[in-house]
Structure 1
Amino acid sequence: MGSLRQRSGTSRRTRDASDQETQDARTRILDAAERLFAGGGYEATPTAEIARLARVPKGLVFHYFPKKIDVLVALIDERTLVEEAPEVEAVPGDAARSLSRLARRLPLRASPAMRRILFREADTHGSVRDRLGRLNGEIIRRARFALELALPTPRGDAARLEVAAVTFAAVLLHQENLCQLTGHHIDPDAVAELIAHALG
């Protein structure tokens, strides 16, 4: 009886370790693809190079992602989600802090590589373009809502709040591209301050 229980515990640990290795391999593949797609682009990246950088056999890449486009779609779907939050964290009377808090909840702020991939591949891949459009719409919606909560007075009229929300979303999504073009990092907190000042 004791040996049966021991075998059962051993097989569970083996299965757990195998599940962890599977997840680690898939994550390494996506990490490698993110780095390579951001650096040289999707079209210029062979699957063999993804496998080499991920330190997995090429066949394992195809096990998880039957076609190369599936790697790109998984990256976009899994790494550009806006965190779910029960409510927008607005600071009453403080539009700048409300927008800054919103920006910190967005994974794109922490992933310049994903922003490069989104904008580079949106022109040639419909699924990426659709994702970029949905992401932009969601950021605008949340920014507008945060501003409405922060500025519930007449000074925050709907048209001005919409322009402010669209501007802030554009900065969050485009900051990596602007940095590459100009060599200057754009601080979302500084933009939040500027927008708050403009809303008066």
Structure 2
Amino acid sequence: MLNEGHPGILNDVRTRILDAAEELFACGGYAATPTTVIAKLAKVPGDLISQYFPRKIDVLVALVDERTHVEENDQVDAVPGDLAGTLSRLARVLPLRASPAMRRILSREADTHGSVKERLGRLNGELVRRARFALGLALPGARGDAARLEVAAATFAAILIYQENLCQLTGHQIDPDAVAELIAHSLV
């Protein structure tokens, strides 16, 4: 039974379970990770997980809901004519909150879990919206070319979200400044 008198201890146990699940789901995937392994890594009794998360899917849903989001902040440091600089600054201040492990989980599990796919779609949509807005401010004359701005914004957002996966696949870190420069050149 959960000890209602010690909320700090409860939060610590729950956090350890989520930390362990994040690490394991990112490495081996949700389906390949039994809750007993999560419990072992979290250093908690196996049956304790079910007191916090009745089903294994509840662990994944909690991770996605609690550890991935884009903070509300529409401030953009856009300079007309400076597309690359605008995108570079946006990449540095973009309030995307998802660890590299969570980004791997999102991309890996989106095909098989609706709640993960929905969260990934919302994150991507918000990043595209912000990148499109920033590009529109930096390139005011491009308003008539909405399709090109949409593609540029979508490309930029995808690289920000999937940069950890790309690094794992290629062994090379993706430089957001280089991506910003490439996208800027494609729009002028």
TM-score (norm 2): 0.87
Structure 1: which 4+ aligned runs deviate by more than 4 Å?
none
Point out the more displaced range, 96-105 or 32-41: 96-105
1:126 to partner: Cα distance: 1.5
Cα separation, 1, equivalents of 2:33 and 2:175? 31
Is 1:133 matched with 2:126? no
State the Cα deviation string for residues 91-136 of structure 1 (Å, max 9, x = none): 222322332333332123xx22111111111121121112212221
**Preserved CA contact (<8 Å) 1:98 1:147:** yes
Q: 1:150 aligns with which of 127, 138, 146?
A: 138
Name the CA distance, whole Å, in 2 between partners of 1:72 and 1:107: 16
1:92 is aligned, of 60, 76, 79, to 79
User: What is aligned with 1:31?
Assistant: 19
Summarize deviations over 1:117-169 as a string: whole Å, max 9, x none.
11111121121112212221111111111111222234883222111101101
Equivalences for residues 4-43 of structure 1 within 5 A: 18-43=6-31
2:97 to 78, 84, 107: 107
Structure 1, unpaired ranges of 5+: 1-13
Does the CA-based 8 Å contact 2:71-2:96 persist in structure 1? yes
Contact 1:96/1:196, CA 8 A, preserved across alignment: yes
Contact 1:88 1:146 in 2 (8 A): no
Distance 2:142 2:116 in 1: 38
Q: CA RMSD in A?
A: 2.0
The equivalent of 1:48 in structure 2 is: 36
Judge conservation of contact 2:87–2:135 (CA < 8 Å) in 1. Answer: yes
Larger helix fraction of residues: 1
In structure 1, what residue type is equivalent to 2:78? V
Contact 1:32 1:53 in 2 (8 A): yes
The residue number in structure 2 matching 1:58 is 46
Larger Cα Rg: Structure 1 or Structure 2? 1
Q: Supply the distance in 2 between the matched residues of 1:63 and 1:96 (Cα, whole angstroms).
A: 49
CA contact under 8 A between 2:131 and 2:157: conserved in structure 1? yes
Distance 2:129 2:168 in 1: 27
Counterpart check, 1:165 vs 2:153: yes
Deviates more, 1:90-99 or 1:136-145: 90-99
Report sequence identity in percent: 71
The whole-number CA distance in structure 2 between the counterparts of 1:156 and 1:103 is: 25
Query: Structure 1 CA distance, aligned partners of 2:52 and 2:89?
Result: 36
Deviates more, 1:147-156 or 1:58-67: 147-156
The aligned residue for residue 6 of structure 1 is: none
